[in-house]
Amino acid sequence: MCLPAGETLNIQAADPADGEPLLTAGTDGAGPVYVEGASIAIKPTVVSAKAVSERVIQVTLPADSGFWTGGAWDETLTGDECAEAIVIKRADGTMRDIASCSLTAASATTLTVTLASDEAFAAGDWINVAAKNIDAEDPATKPLVARNSGSNGQAFVPRAAAVTIAPGFVVAAFALTPSVIAVQLPVTSYMGAASTAETCAEVVEVKNAADEVQGLSGCEVAAFDGVYALMVELADGVVFAEGG
């Protein structure tokens, strides 16, 4: 269920008849009881993000959202406009350049961010709402906001802890032998589980041309000159066939 824009939240007043209050200040339940106050608006922020290719990041949002231009919704932003609403940084905190971002009414909870042509997703990259998206004195040209009945709604706010971008794709897969498949991974990778048929089946799925899942005997991560691959061994009696 998506959170509709414009929703509010308030603490419920404690009822003495219900026994001990559930929410109190302090660390042991002996502090003052939280009481009902003024309702506050629920502010949207980024839910999660994944790289679906080297340059394309898909960001999940909690509500139907869009870029507000002051009188209408815009679906596609330039890199400079997008960077006023969203920031993507490397693990070391340096900024990644953005080429564009888009958010259509038909898919209003998925923000697609495309990195500049000289950029590529790497392990440790993270994303957050830009501070300028809610800057009252120097606001974003087209801020990211949650749609509210077709008009301007709550602006997205930065998360206290930025969202790490998950790898959501593999680069390629190669049959090195009739029973060994090398899956090229996009970033430095690690597999801590023991290499068994069961653990491997939880990580990767191999299908034949008839869309039938193939048995596996094990898999492990290996590195070749800085390129990481998931080495997948098919089960006894199962061999690679074109179309798999």
Q: What is the pLDDT of residues 217-236, one digit of tens each?
A: 999 999 999 899 999 999 99
Q: Which pLDDT band, with edges at 50, 70 and 90, does 1 fall under?
A: very low
Check whether residue 127 and residue 85 sit in a common domain: yes
φ, ψ for residue 161, nearest 5 deg: -115, 120
Segment 110-139 mean pLDDT: 96
The percentage of the chain sitting over the pLDDT mark of 70, rounded to a whole number, equals 92
> pLDDT tens across 157-184, in order?
999 999 999 999 999 999 999 999 999 9
Quick one: 177 and 161 in the same domain? no
Neighbours of 28 (CB within 10 A): 6
- How high is the pLDDT of residue 194? 74
CATH of the domain at 153: 2.60.40.1220
Average confidence (pLDDT) over 96-121? 93
Q: How confident is the model at residue 33 (pLDDT cuts 50, 70, 90)?
A: confident
Q: What is the mean pLDDT of the chain?
A: 89
How much is the pLDDT for 101? 96
116 and 52 in a single domain? The answer is yes
Same domain, 91 and 131: yes
Rg (CA), the chain: 24
User: Do residues 150 and 215 both lie within one domain?
Assistant: no
Asked if residues 59 and 46 have their Cβ atoms less than 8 Å apart, the reply is yes
Domain range for 201 is: 172-234
Model confidence at 13: pLDDT above 80:
no
In this structure, are strands 180-184 and 172-177 parallel, antiparallel, or unpaired?
antiparallel
Looking at residue 242, its pLDDT comes to 57
